Structure 1
Amino acid sequence: MGEVVPAPWGAFLLTTYDVCDHVLRSKSWVALDSEWRARQGEGNRWAAPASRELGRALQGLNPPQHTRFRRSVGHIFDRATLARLHDPVTRAVDALLDRLALRMRDGEANFAELVAEELPVTSMGLWLDLPPADYPLLRELTHHQVYAQELLPSASQIALSNAATLGLRDYFGELVRERRRKPGTDVVSRWLRTWDELEEGDRDAADEAVYLLTMFLVIAAQETTSTLLSSMIWTLDQHPDQLNWLRGNPQEIPGALEEILRYDAPVHLTTRAAAEDTVLAGVPIAKDQLVHTLIASANHDPARTTDPETFDIRRQGRHLSHLAFGGGIHYCIGAGLARLQAHILLDAVLRRFPTLRVSAPPVWEPRVAFRRMTTLQVVDH
């Protein structure tokens, strides 16, 4: 159908790797920030409270605001941070797999619910020093809030997202106030000290910035990583020869994970707007008009990857490249932590469950952008 395909709602769908990569990296294409959303007027999805809040969070910012926020946290998941998280995440994986094994004694168990949905919020909780009792609430709020980021959300989904956004503001607003009252060496307390300097003593502005950071990071980590963890089990199960090879070559897990990300990315599209009137791959696009980078399509572009419909965990070089974590200034800030969780979990599953198999096709929530597998039944025999 072409590289730039008109959509019925007035936007454009971008299908190839090169065009998607260009849009994600180019300054000519911008995130949907507060100013863009305000220009769309009232009475539409962009005016909803959940949508307006996203326009103020990291994913919705453009330079110079985006630059300021990213610099304030630095490279949050650098090697030293990931090294500190390795053992706690490993213990969390072991505990979750213990529970999975216990449930499988009676037959089938839902891997998505028992493991994949639990590990991301647990890992973020360990990093941010959040009470484990709060994890169920954070999962529920995140699942509802993300509807505002869907391609074409319904009115009822927007209502759920609005309510969840208020819940997230209450939760993380109170977290910031609590760390303000009792500062420590944790991540949130460090961010408060950083933003106190950036805002030159304006504590309200600093608190708001830290709220937006923590809220966004928890949402982004939960929705994307949980899908990755489930889809890696499903994808490998559907390719038993590849799975058996990986069992004998666990040192190749990092490459296998990149192929899983390429083959079935957790997020299938992201959206940008034209900063000015422009032409993209020969198609005129007006200022503020939307384009949707179809990440799943780009990752299966035969011009980029030889035989892209074949799942091959031994791919090398450019044929292993993908846009699963986005690109440019909005490249996923939590990619390092997602890879760490996936690596530790897959390694443990391969060692502990040599006969694990998926017993029924997965059940997906009907989403397009932030996909979610709700059920992945597994057995161990």
Structure 2
Amino acid sequence: MGDVVPAPWGGFFVTGFDSANQVLKGRGWLAPDFAWQERQEDAGRWDAVATQEMTKTLARLNAPEHTCQRRSLGNLFDRTTIERLTPQVEEHAGKLLDGLAAALEGGGEADFVSLVSDRLPISTIGGWLGIPAEDYDHILEITHNQVHAQELLPTRSELAVSADATAHLRKYFTQLVQARRERPAHDVLTGWIHTWDAMEPDREAADEILYRLTMFVTIASLETTATLLSSLVSLLAGDPERWAELRAHPERIDDALEEVLRYDPPIHINTRVAAAETELAGVTIPKDSMVHVMYGAANHDPRRNEDPDTFDIGRRGNHLTFGGGVHYCLGAALARLEARSLLVQLLDRFPDLRVTTPATYASRMVFRRVTSLGVTI
């Protein structure tokens, strides 16, 4: 249908790899922030509680607010941090696989999502931020419910669920910031508190920003990575020959991971707006028009990846799964660490792992949440 396709509600779908890359990296494309929402004729469309709350987070900010907040975080997952986190992630993965082994003992079937995929990301980010382990289930539940607000066309009932989840998120992370103020520790959140206290003299304003940063980094780390871990198993262990090949050639693990990211990205759509009237792939885009970058379509552009609908762990192709430009995914290195750590241990401990029940997905367009995946040995 073309690289840029009109959407029924007045925006545009961007499907070609080069066009999508241009939008993600170009300075002429902005996040749909409050200023943009207020300029819309149907401004009421954006009044939902959860939508308003997410518009305050990094993903929906533009310069200078985005620049200031992102710089305050520093390089979250640089090489030193990843090296420090690696033993912890490997330990978390090992314990979760102990539980999987117990569930599969005697040739039974187990749900990989509930036992492993959902658990590793919350264990990783929770330990990094100092979130008590007894709160993990609560965080997972409200995160699953909150993301409805980030869909393209959420229903009223979905927005109501998201509003309730948003209230719980605000309460939880506001209390987390306050608790860390009262009992500082040698952790990343305490460091952010020191940074923002120095930057923002108004303690209340600083705490509001700290709440949003902590909440956003947490929820952004969960469903996306969980879906990546499930897709990893679905695509690799779903083919016994492919699983055996990877076990025989562990040097291909990183290529296999990148092919999973290309083939079925955890997020399929990301939205930007035109800062001024412009042309994209020969199509005129009016100022303030929404463009929906289709990650899955772009990753399957045959001009960039030959025979794109074939899953090939030796491809070494290109993908846009982590976005680009100033909004490039903060947790890309952490997601790769979790996926690689898990895959290495799975290949070693479960040589005969196979998929028995195909992955099922939540009914969503943006976040590809895998809700179940049956496996056995």
TM-score (norm 2): 0.97
Amino acid across the alignment from 2:14: L
1:189 partner amino acid? T
Is structure 2 residue 131 aligned with structure 1 residue 134? no
CA distance 1:23–1:164, shift in 2 (3 Å): same
Displacement after TM superposition at 1:244 (Å): 1.7
Task: Quote the residue 1:264 is aligned against.
Answer: 264
Q: State the 1:242 CA deviation.
A: 2.7
Cα deviation, residue 42, structure 1: 6.8
User: Shift of residue 43 of structure 1?
Assistant: 7.2
Write the letter of the residue equivalent to 1:339: R
In the alignment, which residue of structure 2 is the partner of 1:161? Answer: 162
CA contact (8 A) 1:16 1:298 kept: yes
Confirm or deny: 8 A CA contact 2:16 2:298 kept in the other structure.
yes
Identity %: 51
Q: Does 1:337 align with 2:338?
A: no
In 1: Cα distance, 2:45 partner to 2:136 partner: 28
What corresponds to 2:322 in structure 1? 325
Give the corresponding residue for 1:296.
296
User: Shift of residue 187 of structure 1?
Assistant: 0.8
Match of residue 175 from structure 1: 176
Q: Greater CA deviation, 283-292 or 207-216?
A: 283-292
Structure 1 position 280, deviation (Å): 1.6
Q: Which amino acid aligns with 2:22?
A: H
Whole-Å Cα distance in 2 between the matches of residues 291 and 112 of structure 1?
32
Unaligned residue ranges in structure 1 (runs of 5+)? none
The Cα offsets for residues 145-195 of structure 1, whole Å up to 9 and x where unpaired, read as 111111211111111111111110000000111111112221111001001
Determine if contact 1:37/1:52 at 8 Å carries over to the other structure: no
Q: TM-score, normalised by structure 1?
A: 0.96
For the residue of structure 2 that corresponds to 1:362, the secondary structure is strand
Number of the residue aligned with 2:351: 354
Counterpart Cα distance in 2 of 1:94 and 1:41: 53
Deviations along 1:53-108, one digit per CA (max 9) or x if unpaired, are 11110101111111111110111101111111111111111111111111112611
1:374 and 2:371 equivalent?
yes
Q: In structure 2, the residue corresponding to 1:361 is in which secondary structure?
A: strand
* 1:53 equivalent in structure 2: 53
Q: Give the superposition deviation at 1:230.
A: 0.1
Alpha-carbon distance between aligned partners in 1 of 2:239 and 2:168, rounded to the nearest angstrom:
41
Mean CA deviation greater in 124-133 or 276-285 = 276-285
State which drifts further: 111-120 or 272-281.
272-281
SS at match of 1:271: strand
Alignment RMSD, CA only? 1.3
1:223 corresponding residue in structure 2: 223
CA contact (8 A) 1:89 1:341 kept: yes
User: Which residue identity lines up with residue 275 of structure 1 in the other structure?
Assistant: A
Q: 2:355 corresponds to which letter in structure 1?
A: V
1:27-60 CA-partner distances (Å, limit 9, x unpaired)? 1110111222333367744111111111110101
* Aligned residue number for residue 206 of structure 1: 206
The letter for the 2-side match of 1:26 is G
1:88 corresponding residue in structure 2: 88
Aligned to 1:194: 195
Q: Structure 2: how far apart are the matches of 1:379 and 1:38? A: 52
Distance 2:129 2:27 in 1: 32
Partner SS for 1:378: strand
Which stretch shows the higher mean deviation, 178-187 or 164-173? Answer: 178-187
Q: Write the letter of the residue equivalent to 1:375.
A: S
* Aligned counterparts of 1:359 and 1:323: Cα–Cα separation in 2: 30
Q: 1:351 to 1:297 in 2, by over 3 A?
A: same
CA contact (8 A) 1:37 1:47 kept: no
Give how far 1:306 is off: 1.2
Residue 309 of structure 1 is matched in structure 2 by 309
Contact 1:150 1:370 in 2 (8 A): yes
Partner of 2:358, secondary structure, is coil
Q: Is the 8 A contact 1:45 1:51 kept in 2?
A: no
User: More displaced, 179-188 or 367-376?
Assistant: 179-188
Give runs of ≥4 in structure 1 deviating > 2 Å. Answer: 37-45, 237-243
